A and B are shown apart, each in its own frame.
Chain A
């Protein structure tokens, strides 16, 4: 490896020429909306950006299980309990797809989990908010999954093949979850006055954090321009955020719930809804680890991992002892 790295750093002229040719082929493939596959040459920075983004996405699925799992044992009907369990199971599955997709770039699930546990890689800021009532499960489905879909549907056309294919599968399930969340809120909104109030309170608490899921405004987004050139990203943060607001306003009306923004109103000229300013200080604090649940989420994740160490060790020891049996069975 050292030799290869040295060659790269001090490489011969032919090698530089070779790299330039690879780079041209890569740029041409991306420009033509082609798919980059694991064995293809790709710029180191493209690889690093994808690993960072896919890992963060996978981590979000895994940490995102916690706020919802918080309500599994208290779900108010067996039907809702089954729906919620299935959803949390799907999230674990999404985490698995995404770690596998990230592994095609030469990293490993263990390495990525280690970075999550040590705080070197992030997960979506939204999961640092607490689920305080049953209605929060609905608000997460409708708003958080809704925002995730708005972000992720364009990723189905992302230039990196394994990521794009994982997103196709994930988006199908996510839109199902979103409909279920909407339907949960609708049942509450049309229920008793207490249930309606519960739904409204949840939407009030989750609305702004959901808008923050699209990331910082375009003029402050560090990775945006490069990601758009590489076609990892297809639309800017602000464009996607606007699209999401435009979708949500009529949905809130049909839910019979209001959105907690006095500045929200239709702008005929733009053909979009105008909305009030986002509290970017709060966003930055949550990203820095100072949100309401950052500590709790990471502690639980580390605890599950540490307490499960003996199980993973046992499975490895058993596999080592019995690798010959398996070979014998296969032969």
Chain B
């Protein structure tokens, strides 16, 4: 839901018309997945609009501001590769999310492909685009470790997924002539991380905007 919101901020601002369509398409897929997930545990709007920042459990990666197009693409690359691995495992199992994951994995494969294609074009495009991609890859690298911290109730091989994720991302970056970033992927700097409800500063402002209208009319239906 959070990443969908971030992608929604691109509407009317994309570098080419085709990307207006693509980014909105991905945002819609993600919103659809979020609505199914939220509805399985409660009322989707109550959960989206009436929780405070500390009650949100999203990864810090997805709440990161859009930045430039390179930043948005790298965020998509890191996250869609993770989502694809996660949903593939869930779809193969018989847990409560197998059905949702089986549908979502098809959408996410498209998202991963889209991010991968743009990583190639921007990484191996011009010097300027290469530079921007290096900066974005490095800036977001610190948020990637959190994705593989075990989540209660999900029977998944987290360590194996982490290895597979590194391999797939490294392969795309290498083809795009981009170096694998260095530096920690999680740690003290993250002060607890999103899964524990500890977020980065831009997230509160994002929620303020997202929730404002709903909260201004308590109990109203829309």
Query: Which of A's residues lie within 8 Å of B, judged by CB?
Result: 62, 65-66, 69, 72-82, 85-86, 88-89, 92-93, 95-96, 99, 109, 134, 184, 187-188, 191-192, 194-195, 300, 303-305, 307-319, 321-322
Query: Which of B's residues lie within 8 Å of A, judged by CB?
Result: 1, 5, 8-9, 11-21, 24-25, 27-28, 31-32, 34-35, 38, 44-45, 48-49, 68-69, 120-122, 124-126, 128-129, 132, 209-210, 212-214, 217, 219-222
Give complex CA distance A75, B217 in Å.
Answer: 13
Task: Given A78-B35, A195-B220, output 20 extra A-B contacts at Cβ < 8 Å.
Answer: A66-B12, A69-B12, A73-B9, A74-B210, A76-B49, A82-B32, A88-B11, A88-B20, A99-B17, A184-B222, A192-B219, A304-B12, A304-B14, A308-B16, A308-B69, A309-B15, A310-B128, A310-B129, A311-B15, A313-B126
> In the complex the two chains form, is A96's CB within 8 Å of B220's CB?
no
Which residues on B sit within 8 Å (CB–CB) of A303?
A: 13
> In the complex the two chains form, is A72's CB within 8 Å of B8's CB?
yes
Main SS of the interface on chain A?
A: helix
> Which of B11, B35, B49, B128 makes the CB contact (< 8 A) with A82?
B35
> In the complex the two chains form, is A191's CB within 8 Å of B221's CB?
yes
> Which of B16, B24, B212 makes the CB contact (< 8 A) with A311?
B16
Main SS of the interface on chain B?
A: helix
> Which of B48, B213, B220 makes the CB contact (< 8 A) with A192?
B220
> Which of B28, B49, B124 makes the CB contact (< 8 A) with A89?
B28
Residue of A nearest to B68 (CB): A307
Which residues on B sit within 8 Å (CB–CB) of A314?
A: 121-122, 125-126, 128-129
Which residues on A sit within 8 Å (CB–CB) of B17?
A: 62, 92, 95-96, 99, 109
Give complex CA distance A191, B129 in Å.
Answer: 50
Which residues on A sit within 8 Å (CB–CB) of B9?
A: 72-73
Residue of B nearest to A87 (CB): B24
> Which of A74, A300, A310 makes the CB contact (< 8 A) with B126?
A310
